[in-house]
Amino acid sequence: MLGSAVFDDGCLDNWKKEYSDILLTQEPYKNVYCTEKIFKEARENYPDMLAVAFVMNEEEISRAITNKYGMIASDAIIHEGKGHPRAAGTFPRVLGKYVREDKALPLIDALRKMTLEPAQRLNLEDKGRIKVGADADITIFNPDTIIDGPTFENIDIQNTGVDYVIVNGKLSYISNEIVNGNAGSFIDFNKVIKTI
């Protein structure tokens, strides 16, 4: 959010970026790239507005994704239908762009970084693998067509290539339509943190 410490004085110097590298996401500044004046006005008057800072570069992203210790997840949020496209398209983007198109890492490594490694890191024994007794969370996708759809301007563009999502053994998603949005459950991270 624009009022958060992320955007405190000195952030642009630290990032080696300009005001024009910050995109605002809500009215009255929806899809507006900042100037110094707009940034200061919006930060003062709309501190809860989501903003997108274009501060990462492709080389850094590729290095992080291919690092043997790295895992793939998203810290993005969607607020009132707005937010960073990675909130809705992280995994299709990695599989489509970095695996298929850029060949930055093999498919099996990407899948491991999305499933098994995070589950093991968080001591979630019933997640991250297909086995008898596991939670049966499965995504069925086409590796030849999967790609992210959401953009900074329109987060509602559908991802492509995901055919089915099964959550806890229940069919939850079929070709761009949620058929059961209540099959999963929240993870109590207070318990998880105690085991790490």
Q: Which of 5, 8, 4, 52 is nearest to 30 (CA)?
A: 52
Between residues 108 and 58, the one the model is more confident about: 108
Model confidence at 74, in pLDDT bands (50, 70, 90)? confident
Q: What is the pTM of this model?
A: 0.77
One domain for residues 82 and 22: no
Please tell me the total count of domains within the chain. 2
Q: Please tell me the predicted confidence (pLDDT) of residue 193.
A: 67
One domain for residues 14 and 90: no
Q: Please tell me the predicted confidence (pLDDT) of residue 11.
A: 94
One domain for residues 41 and 24: yes
One domain for residues 43 and 82: no
One domain for residues 159 and 111: yes
Domain limits at 25? 1-55
Strands (E) located in the chain = 22-24, 32-33, 51-53, 78-79, 82-83, 138-141, 162-167, 170-174, 177-178
One domain for residues 108 and 86: yes
Between residues 5 and 185, the one the model is more confident about: 5
- Expressed in angstroms, the distance from the first to the final Cα of the chain is 29
Q: Span 48-56, mean pLDDT?
A: 88
One domain for residues 49 and 62: no
Say if CB 34 and CB 46 are below 8 A apart. Answer: no
One domain for residues 48 and 95: no
One domain for residues 91 and 135: yes
C-alpha pair distances (Å), 13 with each of 23, 43, 47, 186: 17, 17, 21, 38
